[in-house]
Amino acid sequence: MHVSIDECEAAGLDPDVVERIAKRLSKAALEADELGLTIFGGTGDGSLRFRERGSDHCLIVASLNGTFDGGDGGTAPDENGLLRGE
């Protein structure tokens, strides 16, 4: 888990608040992983998914509140050196 200070400041966000949220999300992701679950986000919805062996499709074991986005997760620095996502 890492908080990007310059990017927080560019967004007008308090890095300490961002860090607290990132820690909670990271902890939840690690707990999910221990159970074989994946946190999935795409087209605004989020879910917890479980992939059964031998199946091409995951079981949706829970839907999540909030806004979620998906994609390949690609990142690159912009012209100012700030990290941007796809």
- pLDDT tens for 43-86 read 788 999 998 888 888 999 999 999 988 777 788 999 999 999 87
For residue 82 the two structure tokens come to 């700030």
What's the average model confidence in pLDDT over 19-39?
Answer: 96
- Contact criterion met (CB below 8 Å) for 50 and 58: yes
pLDDT (0 to 100) of residue 73: 77
Q: What token pair was written down for 80?
A: 């100012």
